[in-house]
Amino acid sequence: MSNSVLIIDDSDTVRERIIHTLESYELFSRYHEADDGLEGFKKLLSSPVDVILCDLEMPRIDGFKFLNMIKARPDLQDVPVIILTGMNDRELKLKGLEQGASDYITKPFDPEELVARVKVHLKIKHLQDDLKRTNELLLELSNTDHLTGLFNRRYLMEALEKEFQRSLRKGGNLSLIILDIDHFKKVNDTYGHLQGDIVLNKVALQLQKELRSYDIAARYGGEEFVALLPDAMLKEALFVAERVRQAVQGTKFNGALSSLAITVSMGIATLPTPEGATVDNFIKMADDALYRAKANGRNRVEYLTNTL
């Protein structure tokens, strides 16, 4: 594993001794040095590290100010800071720990104690990083439709509520597109559900490709998908929906599905809506527009903007 350490001390001798000690145990592959807190903070911003060893008494920016600068950055608060203090600096040790330091080493330090303490905090850092990655993965899984990789309905409803309220507060635009694969039951009945899953994935891919990076694409359920377009007026939503419709219509399949041609019908609702509108009303507008598209022959886009 590639570990890195930042050593902040105004003494070249101390820094050299620390590096020499740590190198003998091969704990780190990269070593960064700074002679005060300001230089150390700049290096930390440009080169993330796993452990920081920081003297408390330094010119310009001392260790306490450095700890306060770390505290102000949430992205840096998981990096353990081991403070370096003199033999009799009990009050400084306590103050450093109170201000966010993870541990302390007394100078002149014992090499074995230094290595032991660094090992402990390096292990803790790795465990924290693993836990953070696991939590991020769990969050992603809880928000994702397992088949298509798009967001799921639960995530969509949370995002829609936030964007809906934001648009109402600011008087902004918001567009919602509901997409339904035409005659999808016939696809499952003819080719089987496994092949039907391939079709769902292809449609999801085409939908995602036509959206902006900050738009939200979700699987609403079954063969229905939803696209949420913040700050998009009706004209923009119609343009996107038509691109999606054409992209799906032009989709080619291989193997057992090589002769299959699919189309989609879409309904659009946009904000602003009549006074008193709710998220449920907004969804119903898009859903009603979708039913209109179905009733008018499928493979088309319809919209509603001013009726609930």
Judge if 159 and 137 occupy the same domain.
Answer: no
Judge if 165 and 230 occupy the same domain.
Answer: yes
Query: For residue 305, what pLDDT is reported?
Result: 59
Q: How confident is the model at residue 140 (pLDDT cuts 50, 70, 90)?
A: confident
Average pLDDT over residues 22-28: 92
pLDDT digits (tens, 9 = 90+) for 145-154: 999 999 999 9
Looking at 87, 121, 142, which one is the last position of a domain? 142
Q: ω before 111 within 30° of 0 (cis)?
A: no
Query: For residue 35, what pLDDT is reported?
Result: 93
Say whether pLDDT at 199 is over 60.
yes
Q: How confident is the model at residue 139 (pLDDT cuts 50, 70, 90)?
A: confident
Judge if 117 and 192 occupy the same domain.
Answer: no
Judge if 135 and 184 occupy the same domain.
Answer: no
Judge if 134 and 185 occupy the same domain.
Answer: no
Judge if 66 and 169 occupy the same domain.
Answer: no
Say whether pLDDT at 307 is over 60.
no
What total number of domains does the chain contain?
2
Residue 148 lies in a domain: no
Judge if 22 and 43 occupy the same domain.
Answer: yes
Residue 211's domain is classified under what CATH number?
3.30.70.270
Say whether pLDDT at 228 is over 50.
yes
Judge if 17 and 121 occupy the same domain.
Answer: yes
Query: For residue 137, what pLDDT is reported?
Result: 86
User: Is 223 assigned a catalytic role?
Assistant: yes
pTM of the model: 0.66
Give the range among 26-40, 130-144, 199-213 with minimum mean pLDDT.
130-144
Q: What share of the chain has pLDDT > 90, as a percent?
A: 79
Q: How confident is the model at residue 172 (pLDDT cuts 50, 70, 90)?
A: confident
* CA–CA separation, 253 and 265 (whole Å): 19
Query: For residue 138, what pLDDT is reported?
Result: 87
Say whether pLDDT at 306 is over 60.
no
Report the mean per-residue pLDDT for the chain.
92
Q: Helix or strand or coil: residue 275?
A: coil
Here the contacts of 232-235 (C-beta below 8 Å, separation 24 or greater) are 232/173, 232/174, 232/175, 232/270, 233/173, 233/175, 233/270, 234/175, 234/268, 234/270, 234/303, 234/305
Say whether pLDDT at 23 is over 60.
yes
Judge if 258 and 195 occupy the same domain.
Answer: yes
Say whether pLDDT at 1 is over 60.
no
Residue 108's domain is classified under what CATH number?
3.40.50.2300
Q: How confident is the model at residue 308 (pLDDT cuts 50, 70, 90)?
A: very low
Average pLDDT over residues 18-33: 94
- Residue 280 makes CB contacts below 8 A (sequence gap 6+) with none
Say whether pLDDT at 231 is over 90.
yes
Judge if 172 and 132 occupy the same domain.
Answer: no
Separate counts of helices (H) and strands (E) for the chain: 10, 10
Structural domain harbouring 224: 153-304
Query: For residue 274, what pLDDT is reported?
Result: 58
Query: For residue 85, what pLDDT is reported?
Result: 86
Query: For residue 273, what pLDDT is reported?
Result: 62
Q: Which of 39, 163, 223, 302 is flagged as catalytic?
A: 223
Give the range among 91-95, 149-153, 216-220, 242-246 with minimum mean pLDDT.
91-95
- Residue 153 makes CB contacts below 8 A (sequence gap 6+) with 218, 219, 220, 221
Looking at 87, 114, 142, which one is the last position of a domain? 142
